[in-house]
Amino acid sequence: MKIFNPWHIAVGAFILLCSSCVRDTDFEQAEAIALMPVVELNLIYFNLEASSFYDTISATPVLTIRDTTEIDFLDDSTLQESLKRAEFYFKFTNSIPREFQVDFQFLSEMDDTTYVAQTRVASGATANPVITEFVEDVNEDGIIRLTQANKVVVSVTIPSSNENLEGELNLQSKTTYYPEY
């Protein structure tokens, strides 16, 4: 003996559907929804040996080392329009007994400077590396200039160097983007 046949189930589902509450639902609120994801990306990393700051062939110090990294994701027009804030985090581990000046220059396709940040890295020792952390928070006007960049040039400057200098300078960095859609 069948108690439930498909017809009874369909009638029961129809009655439940008709008695559900939809009167107080304001569908216009859906337009006011803002999605605010947080996007974290690795940005730059390097390991510079102390010997990189001295040219053994010419026996002269190399006081500035530069490296360029492409950052193609900032040229997306949707990201440019929706980006509200960005945060750059740089972590330096220095075992070289020298202080460093580090400059970050963001460049457009035409090599025009769009944004600049800089920091000092504390002197370390081979037996006792020193960690220096630097956070650059970019808001409002800075965001407009930052989104025009498609590469970043990192310049690491040492005040003096010689052939006996030992240790290394390491950089790990990430960037956090806060778009709003």
Query: Cα separation of 163 and 167, whole Å?
Result: 12
Cα(146)–Cα(81) distance, integer angstroms? 12
Average pLDDT over residues 121-145: 93
Identity at 78, one-letter amino acid code:
T
Residue ranges of domains in the chain, CATH in brackets: 32-179 (2.60.120.660)
Alpha carbon dihedral 88, 93, 98, 102, in 10-degree steps, equals -20
10 Å Cβ neighbour count for 127? Answer: 7
Task: Give per-residue pLDDT as tens, 10-42.
Answer: 667 666 666 655 556 666 666 666 677 888 888
Two tokens, residue 30: 């859906």
> Mean pLDDT over residues 43-59, rounded?
94
Q: What is the pTM of this model?
A: 0.78
Q: How far apart are CA 7 and CA 148, in angstroms?
A: 63
Q: Are strands 54-55 and 113-121 parallel, antiparallel or unpaired?
A: unpaired
What percent of the chain has pLDDT above 70? 78
The predicted pLDDT at position 179 comes to 84
